[in-house]
Structure 1
Amino acid sequence: MSDIAIGKASADNGIFRGVTIILMLVIGLMGFAGMILLGAYAPDLRSGRNGGAHALSNAVTGYSGLVQLAEATGRHPRILRSTHDFDTEDLLIVTPESGATDISAALNGRETKPTLFVLPKWQTMPDETHPGWARFTGLIPLHEPIGVLSPGVRFTMQRYRTGGGWLTSHDPDVRFWAPRPIQVITGIEQDNKNQDDAWRRLTPILTDERGNMVLVRVGDGPLYVLADPDLLNNRGMKDEGQAAAALGLLDWMNSTGAQSVAFDVSMNGFGHSKSPLKLLFDPPFLAMTLAIVAALALAGVHAFGRFGPPRARQRALAFGKAALIDNSALLIRKAGREARLGGRYAAAIRDRAARIFAVPARLRDGEIDDYLDSLKGQRRFTDLAQAAEAATDRHGLLEAAQALHDWQEEKNR
């Protein structure tokens, strides 16, 4: 018995057509590749809408307003997600959110390049009703802004409520209105033995009505510290005068050969993460990845072109008279007995011709042959029958059988 279902399978009876399978493979491969890419770069693509105090945040304590303003005025701001990008002549703005933030990468190698540290001031919590917004919960403990540059330098700082008024500036084009409350630097801890001697000198840039420093230059290089972030954050950018003063301040601090303003977010937790998976998509390993993908694509094309669609299995034993005849013929062919069937084929033609041509029933074998030979035609039946019986190979048998068939057709006309 056979394990194949009865009936011949059609080429259209498959569950999926070839085009459908190819489309499914393409969609699956694209989805898998997209999943790998997102898995590798998802940490680097975070929007930063967490209500923090950084250049990606649109919260009141964030600096996205300053970034958008700089972009709109042709200052070409850049968001830096890696400390490897700190080697630039552009003004680097760093906004650490706590005193525990490691800022060493922003100090090393930038002794002659402008760098601005904006100290933290506000303690906030996410606004549940507005994603990306933040609500004030109070002022951050004062030891947090004091500890940003520690132990290299430790400021003495204070906060107080002010009645407003203009801050005193060394640049007449940079005029800020004092925020409420204000956070200022009053000096430097002289008894701190861990402080860098080169940073003990403080040069005030912006001062309040009491002479306290709001913006100060540390040491002799272009290292600046802004004590109160409300001069540059989104809270300050809502005022047109404050926004204009902020742009003027950035231009004043930026170096002569600068082409843009750089805002760091790597120290706020939005830096490029290190992942072995990312190596597959970054030079120089990207070339190897593309070569592997091309090789797999060629292997797939070769597989489809070489093998094509699968063929349906045939039954071991087919049904019907035709199948029985085919099986019998196959057995005779394998046994090598085809040439011995000439006489039997001639006998079968004789019997059929006797019925067709109404040969009298009283006639026997030899008399039947004489009667068939007497029929009009170019060839005689007995000659064709002897040729079929005398055939010794398959080719000769085929010619003799064809001649008998043609003789019969000729007599039927």
Structure 2
Amino acid sequence: MTAVAAARPSGAFSKFGVFALVAGGFALFLALLYLLGAGEEIDGNSGGGGQAHAVSKGLNGYAGLVRLVEAQGHDVERSRRRGGLETTGLLILTPPPTAKPEEITKLLKQRAFTGPTLVILSKWWALEPPQQLPEKVRAKFKPGWVMLGPPQPSRWTQELGRPFAFEHKFKGESTRWSGMKRSGKLPTGTTLHAVPAHEFAPLISDEAGDLLAFMTKGARDFPSNPAYPVAFLVEPDMANNYGLADADRAAATVALVEQLSDEASTGDVVFDLTLNGFGGQENLLTLAFRPPFLAATLSLIVALLIVGWRAFMRFGPAASSAGPDIAFGKRQLITNGAGLILRARRFALLGAPYAALSARRIAERLGLTRADPAAIDAALARRLPDAEPFTQRAARLEAASKPAEILAAAQSLDDLATTLQQGQSTR
């Protein structure tokens, strides 16, 4: 027994190994589905072409502001969905120089009774380092770094609807600023300021009194239902990675964000990326991994894991490996025929053929040349005078219709054949 057991080939993998392979493949499949739905995560050195947005790590980007706001305890989201524009928390927009004024106006008016909004304008014409740079120079650039060109005011601000329109103007040789209970110097002598076309409230100004940040007041003309504030930061060197290198500028920007966030119904802060061209479309895959559909997705995953676990559990002993998978010969033929009759439930057809088969077998054991029922009864009367005649047993089998009756009648014929066989062996 030991030798036979040792000769059996063992599996290439254990049960645990196979389960680990299946579970790992299933997890990777779920991750693939999620990445297909959510899209590739943006980082500072991929895409954007040097744009100023919330995940850019260049001088003109706002990745530092995102981390700074997170450090203040806010729940921060970098939104690539149009649905993120409907947040009831603070929404921070970083539109590019080519923004459409009608789109921005429509968005700001919709935000009037949804939540506060901070719009940070772009300033620098920035480019990623060109491929023509020498290798030693390119090696000094970290991922996401950019090369700053000349400052560029945004022209679309003049076409904004009331009360948001203002002129974005260039101003040189102005480095001092004050506001938000702070003051300091700008990183460069080239400054951008705003000339609002409508009523406003100043937030940050330069040494000449020109506006670097302001809040519109026209949207507050609803005493019974006051609107949420809309603020513009027109000098982005106060908030971008370049400007946050100074503690005073960082503190003023955080104070501005905190003041606007206090107006919101929640402490959430959403940095929009859709205006910078990183918008994603909603689909079934992304919805499956978000509330309230996340609960159904997790339930389905648990159910699949349970089904997979049960698939590894054996039901009964292992099948014997001896012999061919498909049996041959009379036994298999009989088994198949019996199964067919059992499925068709035509039990009444069994009596006559089995009686004829028993007649030939009994006639042979009585030494008769023909299986004639009368001759069998006569020979049986001489051999076993007290035995029940063959014809009565055969008639009872042919008349039976229920499985128990057929079995009892057939057993009676078999007992007669067995008795005759035993009588021949004792002679």
Partner of 1:26: 23
The residue identity in structure 2 corresponding to 1:32 is F
**Partners of 1:204 and 1:90 in 2: CA distance:** 22
Deviation at residue 215 of structure 1 after TM alignment: 1.4
Q: Secondary structure at the match of 1:133?
A: coil
Deviation at residue 233 of structure 1 after TM alignment: 0.9
**Partners of 2:174 and 2:237 in 1: CA distance:** 15
Deviation at residue 203 of structure 1 after TM alignment: 3.4
Q: Deviations over 1:175-218 (max 9, x none)?
A: 24245310112343xxxxxxxxxxx2233333334443221222
**Partners of 2:419 and 2:32 in 1: CA distance:** 66
Partner of 1:321: none
**Partners of 2:185 and 2:58 in 1: CA distance:** 21
Retained in 2: the 8 A contact 1:174–1:248?
Answer: no
Partner of 2:118: 116
Retained in 2: the 8 A contact 1:55–1:264?
Answer: yes
The residue identity in structure 1 corresponding to 2:120 is V
Q: Secondary structure at the match of 2:183?
A: coil
1:174 aligns with 2:182: yes
**Structure 1 16/86 Cα, relative in aligned 2: closer, same or farther at 3 Å?**
closer
Deviation at residue 392 of structure 1 after TM alignment: 6.8
**Partners of 1:56 and 1:206 in 2: CA distance:** 25
Partner of 2:276: 268
Q: How does 1:68-147 map to 2 (within 5 A)?
A: 68-72=67-71, 74-81=72-79, 82-85=81-84, 90-100=89-99, 102-103=103-104, 104-111=106-113, 113-127=115-129, 129-140=141-152, 142-143=154-155, 146=158
Deviation at residue 142 of structure 1 after TM alignment: 3.8
Q: Deviations over 1:270-324 (max 9, x none)?
A: 556311222333344445445544555555526964598675626758xxxxxxx
Q: TM-score, normalised by structure 2?
A: 0.59
Q: Secondary structure at the match of 1:175?
A: strand
Deviation at residue 69 of structure 1 after TM alignment: 2.6
**Structure 1 90/19 Cα, relative in aligned 2: closer, same or farther at 3 Å?**
closer
1:243 aligns with 2:250: yes
Question: 5+ residue gaps in structure 2?
Answer: 1-6, 130-137, 221-228, 333-356, 363-414
**Structure 1 394/201 Cα, relative in aligned 2: closer, same or farther at 3 Å?**
farther
Q: Give the paired residue count.
A: 319
1:278 to 259, 263, 286: 286
**Partners of 1:91 and 1:229 in 2: CA distance:** 18
Q: Deviations over 1:156-179 (max 9, x none)?
A: 232132152x2254x5x1324245
Q: Secondary structure at the match of 1:37?
A: helix
Q: TM-score, normalised by structure 1?
A: 0.60
Partner of 2:236: 229
**Partners of 1:293 and 1:89 in 2: CA distance:** 32
Deviation at residue 23 of structure 1 after TM alignment: 4.0
1:205 to 203, 206, 210: 203
C-alpha RMSD of the superposition = 4.7
**Partners of 2:302 and 2:73 in 1: CA distance:** 42
**Structure 1 255/314 Cα, relative in aligned 2: closer, same or farther at 3 Å?**
closer
Partner of 2:385: none
Deviation at residue 140 of structure 1 after TM alignment: 3.4
**Structure 1 338/141 Cα, relative in aligned 2: closer, same or farther at 3 Å?**
farther
**Structure 1 214/395 Cα, relative in aligned 2: closer, same or farther at 3 Å?**
farther
The residue identity in structure 1 corresponding to 2:37 is A
**Structure 1 393/291 Cα, relative in aligned 2: closer, same or farther at 3 Å?**
farther
Question: 5+ residue gaps in structure 1?
Answer: 1-9, 189-199, 318-325, 328-334, 340-390, 402-413
Q: Deviations over 1:226-277 (max 9, x none)?
A: 1110011111111122222222333344435666361422333455631122
1:161 to 169, 172, 177: 172
**Partners of 1:261 and 1:282 in 2: CA distance:** 18
The residue identity in structure 1 corresponding to 2:195 is T
Retained in 2: the 8 A contact 1:204–1:217?
Answer: yes
1:39 aligns with 2:46: no
**Structure 1 125/150 Cα, relative in aligned 2: closer, same or farther at 3 Å?**
farther
Partner of 1:218: 216
**Structure 1 286/258 Cα, relative in aligned 2: closer, same or farther at 3 Å?**
closer
| Percent identity of paired positions between Structure 1 and Structure 2 | 25
Retained in 1: the 8 A contact 2:202–2:213?
Answer: yes
Q: Secondary structure at the match of 2:39?
A: helix
Retained in 1: the 8 A contact 2:182–2:248?
Answer: no
Q: Secondary structure at the match of 2:286?
A: helix
